[in-house]
Amino acid sequence: MDPIRYDPTGVFVAGGITREDVAAIMPKVDAARREVLTDAELWRTGGPVPPAQEPLDAGFIELPDRLLAEYQKNRATSELGRILAAGRRLADEVDRVLVLGIGGSYMGARALFESCCPPYYNELARSERGSRPRVYFEGNNVDNDVTQGVLDLLGRDRVAAGVADRWGIVVISKSGGTLETAVAFRQFLAALRQSCGGDAKQAARLVLPVTGQSGRLHDLATALGCGEIFNIPDGVGGRYSVLSAVGLVPAAVLGLDVVALLEGAAAMNVRFRAAAAGDNPVLDYVAVCHQFEAKRDAHIRVLSTWGKSLEAAGMWHDQLLSESLGKHERGATPLTVVNTRDLHSRGQQHQQGRRDKLITNVIVDRPRREPLAVGRSDLDQDKLNSLAAKTVPDIMAAAIAGTNRAYGEDGRPTADLHLPRLDEASIGQFFQMLMLATAVEGRLIGINPFGQPGVESYKSHMNAILRGERT
Ligand code: PA5
């Protein structure tokens, strides 16, 4: 597997911080790594969590290795085997799937969809989709008109006549009680039952629930008669759950290479545990980000994705960093940009605005498809014949180098994170690297990276308002 590569040279060139600054903090970052590994060990052994460390959601670290090991031992009956079989079965039976979930129960699956499926996937014919269904992400908002639009799309009261007309639901909620997802599930489930002509058993076959060991969704799925309920293990927090059933069930429905995804994450674990600073993307990234914030008072972390398929991966990271470290009036602010698009919107501010940003470029080294040339034309009014032999990747490479140079000349630091190509193995490494980095940074700055007490506040007010209670 080609490894992803973190190169912070631009940060040093632009005079943001020095290599010595990074070396100086490394012993503390390394100590934070050991703490995180101890957290992981606690999850593996099921040892009691000291109250001061609650909540401790470090289960994401060993999860990929555990899922792969079980699968190698027992293909059909392992959790991964069951996820793959259920995904395949649903894909064979329907041509549209709604994935319902919000926050950590949504963003990772969407990132996988956008980065690993062909562009405009839902527009393709079923054969071009590998006989897999179209996928729509809902239950992540409360938008009346969008819900109505989706019901229109699904055919409202129409009884599905065959695969092309039939649709299903993957509903994901760890707590099982999140209002946005629960309301959407109730509404779409009613429509699904109608589309199955009132056949409750058939409707249950077309629902794949992913939830915790107990809770309202678990109870509902049981009452509905769903054949399988996929579990989100205790100790795996929402925004750290993309490599559990939360991301894997939608990925299996889409026919993605789930094994390669987990192998990517497992490979990152190996590097995290064993590699020395300088060759350890997690440690190096944390040290640079932390020192940049500490020494330059720069609180904004721009994840600058190059290309159109990584926007959702950036949004996934926005949530990961915000909910994990945005506590006690601290924590860097993440911001995803998609370039070259956003060079024409945010670029001005990044070049000449406040000096409060560290930019990390996410660069895909090789495109999946043949490079497309600009091409020669008998209409050269656009003056592009001089670039006729250049390809789209050539233009992208020039844009990246040119932007880094422009920022560097103005003392605006940029680091580069290289993904060898956009595929499951790279994305698995990317997810695991950033989840590990977030946990390590939390330990480094003394903020528990797990739990999100601030999010509970809006939920309780919203519920009280809806039920006419005073708060
Ligand atoms: O990171 C988290 O834990 C949150 O973002 C949750 O994923 C989100 O609130 C959804 O929760 P649930 O899966 O319980 O519906």
Query: Measured between alpha carbons, how far is 465 from 471 in angstroms, rounded to an integer?
Result: 8
- Best residue among 178, 322, 323, 462 to mutate for probing ligand 1's pocket (most ligand atoms within 8 Å of CB) is 178
pLDDT value for 455: 86
* Residue having the nearest C-alpha atom to atom 2 of ligand 1: 238
Residue-level pLDDT at 14:
81
For residue 105, report the distance from its CA to the centre of ligand 1, in Å.
Answer: 6
Residue 370 CB contacts under 8 Å (≥ 6 apart), including other chains: none
**Residue 357 to residue 347: CA distance in whole angstroms:** 12
pTM of the full structure: 0.97
CA 251 to chain centre: 12
What is the CA angle 360-366-369, rounded to 5? Answer: 130
Give the CB-side neighbour count of residue 450, counting CA atoms within 13 A.
21
Nearest-CA residue for ligand 1 atom 15 is 173
Contact partners, residue 428, CB within 8 Å, separation at least 6: 64, 243, 260, 261, 262, 263, 264, 265, 266, 267, 268
Q: What does R_g of the chain's alpha carbons equal in angstroms?
A: 23
| Distance separating alpha carbons of residues 192 and 202, to the nearest angstrom | 9
Helix (H) or strand (E) segment spanning residue 444: helix 424-445
- Cα 144 to Cα 174: distance, rounded to the nearest angstrom: 24
Task: Please give the pLDDT value at position 47.
Answer: 84
Concerning whether 329 is annotated as a catalytic residue, the answer is: no
- Return the DSSP state at 164: T
**Taking a C-beta distance cutoff of 8 angstroms, is the pair 427, 264 a contact?**
yes
- Phi first, then psi, for residue 173 (nearest 5°) are -160, 120
Sheet with strand 357-366: strands edge to edge: 5-7, 414-421, 357-366, 300-306, 333-339
CB of 171 closer than 6 angstroms to any ligand 1 atom: no
**Residue among 20, 73, 329, 344 flagged as catalytic:** 344
Q: Do the beta carbons of residue 10 and residue 416 sit within 8 Å?
A: yes
Active site residue 459: yes
Residues of the chain with pLDDT under 50: none
Q: Are 112 and 310 in contact (CB under 8 A)?
A: no
Strands 134-138 and 96-100: parallel
Q: What is the pLDDT of residue 156?
A: 84
Q: Can you list the domains of the chain with their CATH numbers?
A: 5-49+276-453 (3.40.50.10490), 94-234 (3.40.50.10490)
**What is each CA distance from 102 to 167, 176, 462, in whole angstroms?**
20, 11, 16
